[in-house]
Each structure stands twice: as C-alpha cells, then as structure tokens.
Amino acid sequence: MPFLVRRLASTIVMLGIVSVMVFSLMLLMPGDPVKLMLGEATTPELEAQVRQDLGLDLPIHVRYVRWIRDALHWNFGRSIRTQEYVASEAWLHVGPTFEIGVLALGMSLVFGMTLGCVAAYRRGSLWDSGATIGAVVGVCVPHFWLGMLLILFFGAQLGWFPIQGWVRWEESPVGSLKTAFLPALTLAMGLTAETARMTRSAMVEVLNEDYIRTARSKGLSEFLVVTKHALRQALVITATTVGLQIGRLIGGAVLTETIFAVPGLGRWVAEAVFFRDFLVVQFAVVMTAMVVLAVNMLTDLLYALVDPRIRYGTTS
C-alpha cells in the first residue's frame, strides 16, 4: 500500500512539472495564434478583440492558474482552430489512435516474441542472423516509405484494404479494422524489431539458467520448457519494453496517421503545433504524460506481482 501511495504522489508531481514545462514552451515558441487565425484580414482592433475573447491578454501566471483550475473540472478550453472543446475533440481522435495502437502492439508482440524466441533458441544459426537482420531492417526503414509501399501493394494492386480514410468502430467494426490494418502493420514493423531483440537477449540469458536444465532433465517437452518456463521470465523484460513503446506509439502515430489519413491524436496534435493552438498541445502533452506514467506504474506493479523479491523488498 505505501508503495502505491508513493508512486501516486510522485506521478502527480511529475504531471505538475510537465504541465508547467509545456505551458512555458508554447509561449516561448515564436508565432502568434491570433495572427495565424486571422491571416491577412487582421486589423489591430480585430486582433485585440480576439485576444481578449480567448483570454490571451492576461498575464502568464494567471492564465496557468486558470487553466489548472478549469482542468480539474475537466474543462481544457476551446481549440483556437476549431472552437470545439478540447476535451471533447480529443475524444473524437482517441479512438483511431487507440485502435491502431492496440493492433500494432498485438502484431508486434506476436511477431516480435516469436522471432526473439526462435533467435535465442537457435542462437548462432541462420535463424538468429536472419532475425537480427530483420530487426535492423525493421528499425531503419522509414515509416512513410513503408506506408506508401503497403498502400501501393495491398491497397492498389491487391485491393484488399482501402487506400485512405478511416471507418469508425461504431459505424462498422470490420470496416474499421480494415482501415486500421495497414497503419498498424507499418507501426508494428518498427516495434517488432525492438521486441524481438529484447526477447532474444532475455531468452538467451534465461535458457542458460540451471532450472531450465532441470526442467529438460525432468523430461518435459522442449515446447513446454521454452514457453512455460523460459518465456515467463523473459516476459518481465518484454513488459518493460512494451511500457516504453506505448509512449512512442502515441507520438510515432503522427507520420503514419498523415500517410493513411487517419484522424487520430498524432495528426491532431501536429496540426495544433503548426497553428500554435496551444490549449490542444497542452492537453495532449499532459494526457500523454499521464498515460505513460500510468503505464509505467502498472509495469512496476506487474513486476511486484511476478517477482516476489521486489514485493518483499529483498534482493538475492
């Protein structure tokens, strides 16, 4: 229990720091959202009026305090660009990013862990080198190029998937998965590589342990040895990797979402940065920080559950 309380407290402090940082960063960036909004039609009176409407003429600390106060009531203000409430607009964009993220993570876990296991099991063989090369290629290939290739091949040539656009889950789950498949595959390529490498190193270490030799000498099938005994230990490392990847999935989504015209969070935030729509950027950064911190906390809890040494605070 005190573990949980300590983690929660530090999470809140981190969130506070993140919010201050993001607030000041947006203000330090050159570019005035009001001038951007109005374009060449701008006149001094119009500008002053819009500034007042948006509350941009107040001093910074007042604006920050107001923002925190409103945020606690789940009011993150209105987007300068669309005039929609930031929180409700975010809700529209979370769906696609979440769907693609979950699909990408799932794919990468399946492929990555399989590849990693095979590479570790057949260490030093062609399988191993093949998996390593595959991993390097997966990390180095640029997302947008890969995305275009997938669109051309699976979308245009084979016609299996739509070339662009997004079907919402509420409209049609199957249609939604079809539009999510190629973007998820693109993202998964990069993630698979990492997961494969991590799984491989973890497995190599574990497979050398004494208890594996014991399990083998007990007469257990190889399959059981690898999956039930070895993999379970390696899962801890994989869980850490996944925790780190989730943060990247939200950000790395920007390029993929642009190529595949997916109306997700990544694209939304990128647009907001270009338009100095700082309320949107603040919200997005704070929310992302919250998600990453929450995931990390969960990972720690998972550790504690899986490894009794952590739970009881002893070291062997």
Partner 1 sequence: MRRFTTLAMLMTAILCIPAVSSRPAHAAETPVYGGTVRVVSYWKVRSLDPAKSTSGYDHNYLFSLYDTLVDLTPDLKPAPGLAKRWETPDPRTVIFHLQENVTFQDGTPFNADAVKWNFERHMNPATASVQRSDFVNVERIDVLDPRTVKLVLKTPASQLLLLLADRGGMMVSPAAVQKHGKDYGTKYAVGTGPYRLISNRPDEKVEMEAYPGHWRKKNGGPPFLDRLTYFIVPDDATHVLMAENNQADFVFAVPAQDVDRVKKNADLTLLRMVGARTRTIGLNATREPLTKRKVRQALNYAVDRKALAQVIDFGYAVPAVTYIPPSHPVFNKALAPYPYDPAKARQLLREAGYPDGVTVPIALHNAPDRLQTIQAVEAMMKKAGISLDKAVIEPVRVSQRMVSADYTMMLTEWAGRASPLLTLQLNFTPESGYGGARNTHDDAKDVDKLIKAIDATPSPREQEKLFHEVQKLIADRALDLHLTHPDILHAVRKNVRYTMYGDGKLRLGHAWIAK
User: Which residues bind to partner 1, rule: CB under 8 A?
Assistant: 30-32, 35-43, 45-46, 49-50, 53, 78, 81-84, 89, 92, 148, 151-152, 155-156, 159, 162-166, 258-259, 261, 263, 267-268, 271, 274-276
Q: Which residues contact 147 (CB under 8 A, 6 or more apart)?
A: 182, 183, 186, 255, 256, 259, 260
Pick between residue 40 and residue 210 the one whose CB is nearest to partner 1.
40
In contact, 161 and 155? CB cutoff 8 Å: yes
Give the nearest distance from C-beta 296 to partner 1 in angstroms.
Answer: 31
Give the nearest distance from C-beta 42 to partner 1 in angstroms.
Answer: 5
In contact, 154 and 161? CB cutoff 8 Å: yes
What's the rounded Cα separation, in Å, for the pair 34 and 31? 9
In contact, 275 and 36? CB cutoff 8 Å: yes
Q: Name the 3-class secondary structure at 85.
A: strand
Pick between residue 81 and residue 197 the one whose CB is nearest to partner 1.
81
Pick between residue 27 and residue 156 the one whose CB is nearest to partner 1.
156
Give the nearest distance from C-beta 100 to partner 1 in angstroms.
Answer: 15
CB-based burial label for 35 (10 Å; 0-12, 13-18, 19+)? middle
Q: Which residue has the tokens 């993999």?
A: 231
Give the nearest distance from C-beta 82 to partner 1 in angstroms.
Answer: 5
Pick between residue 67 and residue 166 the one whose CB is nearest to partner 1.
166
Kindly report the length of the chain: 316
Pick between residue 101 and residue 162 the one whose CB is nearest to partner 1.
162
Give the nearest distance from C-beta 248 to partner 1 in angstroms.
Answer: 21
Give the residue from 103, 113, 114, 251 showing the smallest Cα distance to 182.
103
In contact, 283 and 268? CB cutoff 8 Å: no
Pick between residue 44 and residue 124 the one whose CB is nearest to partner 1.
44
Give the nearest distance from C-beta 85 to partner 1 in angstroms.
Answer: 10
